[in-house]
Chains A and B, each alone.
Chain A
Amino acid sequence: MNLAHLHLLLNHVPTIGFGFGIGLLAASLLRESEDLKRASYVVFFGVALVAIPAYLSGNAAEFILKGERELPEGVVAAHQNAAMLALIPMEIVGLMGWLALRRFRTWHQPAVLVLSIAAFLLMARAANIGGQIRHPEILAADSPAYAPAWPSPAAMGAAFVLDNPWVWPICEVLHFVGLCLLFGVTLLVNLRMVGFITGVALAEVNRLLPWAMAGLGINIITGMLFFLAAPEQYTQNSAFVWKMGLVVLGGLSLLYPAMFDQEHASTSDMLDAPLTRKVVAACSLVIWVGVIFFGRFLPYLGME
């Protein structure tokens, strides 16, 4: 299996996953079910995370296919731009879902519903264009999908980094700021979950979690800018593949402590922590250290 296969596997997750999430959210509205609503937010958050490697593996697939046959250049670029145009609202929906799981505001539900449907339609469009790369027999060059009227965020992002020499260093600084926020806050929360920190309810410590999420957000944005500007530097690197796999797992682990937001400090909670939490916290800690490890070793490890 190579990364092109991975792309074919992952590229169905965003559309199908969001379709499923929208179904759950719609059902929750009809049946006024709190559980279904929360389930839909979890689905949106998870799919938004997996959508990132789904996007990234597309560039790897392009690289592999280029070596095998002539690619319809305009279609590939159109597919990339369409995918980025869908990825952006998808990430916003994922973030809103995560926030809504923790502290619900009345505007969350309609906003998530509208934006997730928009993201779903945009991703379906991206998938449709992508299908024409694999099946050139259905290719129609005058297809309205390539009309230049559609914004091209992938190309714009790449140009923004490549045309302005200050962008890359600034993004590196911000990537470290995001890393410190994410690692520091998750470390604190994890140390509470393993019981190293006591005398405070997990729900109180969890109020710091949005800052970890902010760090993750900064790093997804700055990391994506690096990738857009120099995709071949990453797609050919196995350390990067490991890093992205761990980022998805680490992101998912940010759901776990939020499950205990309603919990209040009990005597046992003040003294010790349940075993499951210790295990999850230890895993989360190892995952984030692994992310830093593979990020730092990227230039030295896994280059062809």
Chain B
Amino acid sequence: MASVLAQLEQSGVATWIRESGVLYGYPLILFLHTLGLSTVVGVSAAIDLRLLGVASAIPLASLDRLFGVMWAGFALTAATGVLLFVSDATKHASNPAFFVKLAFVAGGVAALALVRSRVFHGQQRGAVLAAASLGCWLIALTAGRLMAYISEFIS
């Protein structure tokens, strides 16, 4: 496992992201990661608020198109996330906060898919799913933001 991580880290792309120092390298990837995550989490949170009773006059059907926006945001976050991971694979793989973040991102995405199938295209009211979704995103954001502090603390 360690050798795989080291290999990833030594690859051309990873080295370029880590060491090129150009603005369209690491900083741009970080920006796109933030843009993507704020789209998924932000729009998902807005839908969760609607399911919890805020602006309850909005018909759910009118929000259905937003799932495309959220999946696009998620694709951007995931792709840039992979790049950010390989650029520092060993460090991230030894950081418990990283795995907490991944687990709760998975939870948030699962909640999103369930909201669509069971609430938008089903009979469920969705308040519980909405609360779970908000909780998952909050923990994922917290763990992700604290990764740098925790890796510093471990080493």
Contacts and interface: CB of A to CB of B under 8 A. Distances in A.
Interface of A: 169, 172-173, 176-177, 179-185, 187-188, 191, 196-200, 204-208, 211, 289, 292-293, 296-297, 299-301
List 9 A-B pairs, minimum CB-CB distance, nearest first: A184-B42, A207-B55, A199-B62, A200-B62, A296-B31, A180-B42, A300-B27, A180-B41, A183-B38
15 contacts: A169-B145, A172-B145, A180-B41, A180-B45, A184-B38, A185-B46, A199-B62, A200-B63, A208-B50, A289-B35, A299-B27, A300-B23, A300-B26, A300-B27, A301-B23
Interface in B9-59: 23, 26-27, 30-31, 34-35, 37-39, 41-46, 49-50, 54-55, 57-59
Contacts of B58: 200, 204-205, 207-208
Contacts of A185: 42, 46
The main secondary structure of chain B at its interface with chain A is helix
B23 A176 contact: no
A191 B141 CA distance: 24
B1 interface: no
A211 B27 contact: no
Given A188-B46, A297-B27, A300-B27, A179 B55 contact: no
Nearest to B150: A169
Contacts of A181: 42, 45
Interface of B: 23, 26-27, 30-31, 34-35, 37-39, 41-46, 49-50, 54-55, 57-59, 61-63, 65-66, 69, 137-138, 141-142, 145-146, 149
Contact of A197 (B26, B45, B65, B145): B65
Given A191-B66, A289-B35, A301-B27, A208 B46 contact: yes
The main secondary structure of chain A at its interface with chain B is helix
B142 A188 contact: no
Contacts of B55: 204-208
B47 to A, nearest CB: 8
Contacts of B62: 197-200
Contact of B138 (A177, A179, A182, A198): A177
B31 A196 contact: no
Nearest to B25: A300
B146 A180 contact: no
A176 B141 contact: yes
B65 to A, nearest CB: 6
Given A169-B149, A180-B41, A292-B35, A208 B49 contact: yes
Nearest to B68: A196
Contacts of A206: 55
B23 A297 contact: yes
A93 B50 CA distance: 28
B76 to A, nearest CB: 12
B145 to A, nearest CB: 5
Contacts of A199: 59, 61-62
Nearest to B138: A177
B53 to A, nearest CB: 11
Nearest to B32: A296
Contacts of A173: 141-142, 145-146
